[in-house]
Amino acid sequence: MSDQPKDLPPLDIALVSEHASPLAALGGVDAGGQNVFVAALAIRLGRRGHRVRVYTRLDDPSLPEQVEAAPGVSVVHVPAGPARQLPKDDLAPHMDEFGRWMSAQWRRDGVPDLVHAHFWMSGIAATAAAEAARIPVVQTFHALGSVKRRHQGRADTSPACRLGTEERLVARNELVLATCRDEVNELMGLGADPDQVRIVPCGVDAGAFTPPTDAGPRRAPDDPVHLVALGRMVERKGLDIIVRALAHVPQARLTVAGGPDRAELGQDPEARRLLALAEEYGVQDRLTLAGRVGRDEAAGLLASADIVTCTPWYEPFGIVPLEAMACGRPVVGSAVGGLLDSIDHGTTGLLVPPRDVDATAAAIRRLTADPELAAGMGRAGRERVQRLFSWERVAELTETAYRDALAGYARTHPSRPEATRRQLAQHRDELDRALTALEAQAEVLDRWGRRLSELLAGGGRVLAAGNGGSAAEAQHFTAELVGRFQGERRPLAAVCLSAETSSLTAIVNDYGAEEVFARQVQAHGRPGDVLMLLSTSGSSPNVLAAARRARHSGVLVWALTGPGPNPLADLADEAICVPGPSTSVVQEAHLVLLHALCAVMDEGFNRCQPGPATVPGVDRKDTP
């Protein structure tokens, strides 16, 4: 049954998590926080009636393109880069390919209403695809490069482009979802508009992480106390702080879970460092390294703890404190990042300064000496996560943010048909203004048309040239003369110089591009002929060279240009300058002028050559 409010339509949502597949979390393995977050959010959004597609990088060639992960939720494996496991920091160069593939898949299977990027590299792919599809992007960073750089310094292995990319994503995307108040402050430092940021915390499955059956005081003050630390085995997690603190809490024993499988801990640098530290402090007999644990094992281990410790140097959010509180366990945590929001100091646990061994040991001793206080904090923690950090609440807050993003995007980015209508109306107005201004040139057009009719009726020739779009218009103009414009008449001598491809290649090869029209003018033009030159800028070197060569050869030069004054208008015998604001308006006005010129020419030519034209060997009835 859907949890979607009945008065709101369901959404088609794309979640992008380039390195953290939700399938890892759904499979029950020791998944990272982003895997868990994306999986839990996708499932709850699916339950609310939305269509959810999660895009993650294909890192195993045996994986199918798409997997149905839950009702309404599919996981799509994107072929971007080699189909094998790669270090996370090596993925950035493959994000453009990721975005292109995703954009093509949307065109085939339907464009979503919006895309939600998880992590900065996902933002690269999501933003590129969303701009092409004209849909908003919501960004969750999960961790900011500026914070990582500040705390890790030279040990930071992130790509050099990370910080600048995060700033651009903040500036370009519709909304940024921060996981805690501390992250909001960091985002302000990146230039975020406060109205652009929403706080949506991480969540916890309070049905999977539950207190032990006996939730009352579990031990006497003098009994051994079981400490548990759970998480990735990396230096920044501050596990060494707890090992050092053990020396000041003689009755405590510590279990550290996370990292590689237990059998491989001997090869793990951080595990070896912790064991060496424990031996140095004389607590090696009270330290257990459990290695990697699955989700069920993690829940059981946290529930078995008397106190859960979480002492990182910094933490963007941190799911472990929530899982510990869901298990009814008090938490001793560093006063950093998301822990400042998740742990209610003095109520659900104790916050200590980061990297402070003495303060950490004192907090553990306080809870060790007062089991009733510890039990009360555990109960308060359970109530707190159920009230503020359930995945259902996270999904509700996220959906609200999505609808805000869609509304904001609609205000600043009109719908595609509406935007197209506005564009057409603006273009029509610009063209109308340009053509209205050109009405003052009617006398010039009339004179040009009458001159052409006399020239062509007497066996003269018209040459025409231009570059790019103007080249196409030059071809169009001469085609109207060699063919027919309105009524029947004989074909007229008109040559589009840009159409002489064999001449083009020869001239460019031997004389350079600037001579491409000038030599053709010299070859085909005769005194008294007309050269029509078209240029929106009025400054193309090859067009100017043609004008000079024509004047030298006695060929009359007419020019259609963009806004004047310009060099071509100055060189020509006569010029009409179109006061258009864009190349497209100028070229369209040129086409109107050419048609008007043909109409005047036809009228004058028919007076000079009365009667319909006939072509030997062609039945008049077959003439179109």
CATH number of the structural domain spanning residue 597: 3.40.50.10490
User: 446 is written with which tokens?
Assistant: 């009339």
Residue 580 has pLDDT above 60, yes or no: yes
Q: Are residues 230 and 312 in the same domain?
A: yes
Q: Are residues 552 and 491 in the same domain?
A: yes
> What gap in Å lies between CA 390 and CA 371, rounded to an integer?
27
Look at the chain and report how many structural domains it folds into: 3
Residue 6 has pLDDT above 80, yes or no: no
Residue 31 has pLDDT above 70, yes or no: no
3-state secondary structure of 345: strand
Tens digit of pLDDT for each residue in 297-329? 999 999 999 999 999 998 888 899 999 999 999
CATH number at residue 173: 3.40.50.2000
Q: Are residues 490 and 381 in the same domain?
A: no
pLDDT the model gives residue 427: 85
Q: Are residues 365 and 400 in the same domain?
A: no
**Residue 41 burial class via C-beta count within 10 angstroms: exposed 0-12, middle 13-18, buried 19 and up:** buried
Residue 616 falls within a domain, yes or no?
A: no
pLDDT band at 487 (very low <50, low <70, confident <90, very high): confident
Q: Are residues 471 and 584 in the same domain?
A: yes
For residue 551, how far is the Cα from the chain centroid?
Answer: 54
pLDDT the model gives residue 424: 82
Q: Are residues 442 and 546 in the same domain?
A: yes
Residue 295 falls within a domain, yes or no?
A: yes
Q: Are residues 312 and 358 in the same domain?
A: yes
Looking at residues 409-425, what average pLDDT do you find?
76
Residues 6+ apart with CB under 8 A from 621: none
Tens digit of pLDDT for each residue in 352-387? 999 999 999 999 999 999 999 999 999 999 999 999
Looking at residues 157-180, what average pLDDT do you find?
93
Residue 463 falls within a domain, yes or no?
A: yes
Q: Are residues 281 and 375 in the same domain?
A: yes
100: closest CA among 133, 74, 73?
133
Last residue of a domain, one of 412, 445, 477: 412
pLDDT the model gives residue 14: 98
Q: Are residues 160 and 253 in the same domain?
A: no
For residue 102, CA distances in Å to 42, 62, 112, 589 come to: 18, 20, 11, 40
Q: Are residues 21 and 132 in the same domain?
A: yes
Q: Are residues 545 and 435 in the same domain?
A: yes
Q: Are residues 37 and 149 in the same domain?
A: yes
pLDDT band at 4 (very low <50, low <70, confident <90, very high): low
Range of the domain at 347: 225-388
pLDDT the model gives residue 463: 96
Residue 468 falls within a domain, yes or no?
A: yes
Residue 166 has pLDDT above 60, yes or no: yes
> What gap in Å lies between CA 371 and CA 329, rounded to an integer?
11
Residue 178 falls within a domain, yes or no?
A: yes
Residue 214 falls within a domain, yes or no?
A: no
pLDDT the model gives residue 65: 95
Residue 148 falls within a domain, yes or no?
A: yes
pLDDT the model gives residue 345: 97
Lowest mean pLDDT among 22-26, 98-102, 143-147: 22-26
Residue 213 falls within a domain, yes or no?
A: no
